[in-house]
Structure 1
Amino acid sequence: MKNLRPLLGHEVELELSGKQAAVSGKLVDVGQDILVLYNGVHFLYVPLLHLQQLRLIQSDNVIDVPEMPYESMSDQISYRKILMNAKGMFSELYITGNQSIHGYVNSVMNDFFVFYSPVYHSVIVSLQHLKYLIPYNPNVTPYTLTPEQFPLKPSPLTFARSFDQQLQKLVGEFVIFDLGENPSKIGVLKGIDQNIIELATAGGSPAFLHLNHIKTVHLP
C-alpha cells in the first residue's frame, strides 16, 4: 500500500461499508490488507476489505501516539498477524449494526476466528465482516470482571478450518446469526446447500439466508 504511506502521521477519515458514521484518527501504520488509526484514546485496526473511502482531514489537534499494543511491522503488518497477536488480549470488535462486542480472540482459522465474550460466549466471526478491532490496555478486563468471574474457558465446540465447514458442523443446532439483530436470523439450522442456509424460525417457518452475508454465529 505504497500510495497510502505518504499519509502516515496525518489525520484521516474513513468511510467503512456497513457503518453510517465515519471513523477518524491519525494514520499510524499501513499493511498489505489492514491499516491502523489512533483516535486519541484507542488504536483501531481496520481491514481494508471494508474501506470505501479515505480522505485527509484538516485539524489543529495534536495527537500524541503511545506505544502500539502490537509492534509495528511496516509493510509486513497483516490482518491475520494482528488477529494472532490479539489472542488472549481484551479487545472490542465492531461487526454489524450499531453493536460492538467485547472479549478475547481465542482461535484463528482459514476464513473465520473465534471470539470469547462474557455476553455471547463463543462467537464465530467471518473474516470478511470484521469492520475494526480495538485492543485494550493489558490491565483492563471486560466490564471490570475478575478472572474468577470471567475465566477464559475453552469452547465446547470443535472447529473446522473454514466458515462453511463450521456451519455444516452446526446443522441441527439452535443458532443465532449476526448477534440476533434480526429475529429471522435465530432458529434451528436445518441445512446448507450451495451457500443457501435453511433456518427454522420461532414459528416453524423456514428462512433462507446466503452464507456470504452471515457475519457471526453463536449458540445461546
Structure 2
Amino acid sequence: MKNANHSLLNKLVEIEVAGKGMPLRGKMIDLGQDIIVLRGASHFYYIPLVHVKLLRPASQEESAEAVPEIPYEPQSDPISYRKVLFSAKGMFSELYIAGTQSIHGYVTSVMNDYFTFYSPVYHTVIVSLSHLKYLSPYHPDVTPYTLPPEQFPLKPSPISLARTFDQQIRKLVGEFVVLDLGDHPNKTGILKQMEDGMVELANAAGQPVYIHFDHIKTVHVP
C-alpha cells in the first residue's frame, strides 16, 4: 500500500485505538508500513498500526484551533515505528500503554523489541514495542511538570540492557519489580524466574504468581 494513495491521507479522521475508550481525532498526515501519524488539535500522535482497531472519516470539519508544530523534521524516507522512536530520544513525550496508563518522560534507548523510557515518576521503564498504543511528543519548550532541567536531568538507565525483551526480563531475576506500572497488586514482587513463557513473581504475601510473557507491557525496578 502506497501512502500517497490512501483515500484518508490529509483528511480529518477518527481512530479507535486498542485499550482506549475515546477515539483519537485529527488529520492523518502520514502513513507508514507500521505506523499512522495523526495531527490533533494540540498534539501529534504516532500510532502503531497493529493497535488501530478502526479508522474512519470524521463526521465534522476540522476546528479552527491552533495547529501544533510538527515535532520532527520531515524526512524523504518512509516513516516507520522504529524511526519515530529514535527521533523521540531525548524529547519529552507522552506514552499511552492501556486503560489509564499514560506516562510522561523521555525515550532513552531503543533495542530489538523494546525501548527504555525515563519518567520522573517511575524512573527507568522498560516498554515492550508490541504494547505501546501511541507516542505523543510535546513541544520542545515543554518540560516534565514544569521542572527546570537541573531538577530533572535526563539520566542514563542504571540497568544493563539486553537486546531483547525476553532477555531483559531474565536479567532481572531476583530483583523487586513492578509489571505494567502496577495496575494490579499481584504484578509487584520479586521476579523469581521465567520459564515456558511464564514469569513467576513472589507477591507481597510471598505467594507465587504467574503471568504470561506475551501480556507483560512494561517492567520497572522501583
TM-score class, shorter-chain normalisation, is over 0.9
Alignment match, 1:152 = 154
Looking at structure 1, the residues matched to 46 and 221 of structure 2 have their Cα atoms a distance apart, in angstroms, of 27
**1:115–1:124 contact (8 Å) kept in structure 2:** yes
Question: Pairwise CA RMSD of aligned residues?
Answer: 1.5
Looking at structure 1, the residues matched to 111 and 217 of structure 2 have their Cα atoms a distance apart, in angstroms, of 15
Q: Deviations over 1:12-59 (max 9, x none)?
A: 111121222211111111111001111110000001011111011121
Q: Is 1:58 aligned with 2:52?
A: no
Instruction: Call closer, same or farther: CA 1:75–1:13 in 2, change over 3 Å.
Output: farther
- Any stretches of 5+ residues in structure 2 without a counterpart? none
- Any stretches of 5+ residues in structure 1 without a counterpart? none
Alignment match, 1:23 = 24
SS of equivalent residue, structure 1 residue 100:
strand
**1:29–1:72 contact (8 Å) kept in structure 2:** no
Amino acid in the other structure paired with 1:2: K
Alignment match, 1:111 = 113
Query: Which consecutive aligned stretches of 4+ in structure 1 deviate over 6 angstroms post-superposition?
Result: none
Amino acid in the other structure paired with 2:218: T
Looking at structure 1, the residues matched to 49 and 106 of structure 2 have their Cα atoms a distance apart, in angstroms, of 22
**1:105–1:113 contact (8 Å) kept in structure 2:** yes
For this pair of structures, how many residues does the alignment match?
220
TM-score (norm 1): 0.95
Give % identity.
62
Q: Is 1:211 aligned with 2:188?
A: no
SS of equivalent residue, structure 1 residue 6:
coil
Q: 1:201 aligns with which of 180, 200, 203?
A: 203
Q: Deviations over 1:53-80 (max 9, x none)?
A: 1011121224564542123346610000
Structure 1 residue 172 displacement after superposition: 0.3
Alignment match, 1:33 = 34
Structure 1 residue 129 displacement after superposition: 0.4
Alignment match, 2:126 = 124
Looking at structure 1, the residues matched to 156 and 167 of structure 2 have their Cα atoms a distance apart, in angstroms, of 20
Amino acid in the other structure paired with 1:22: P
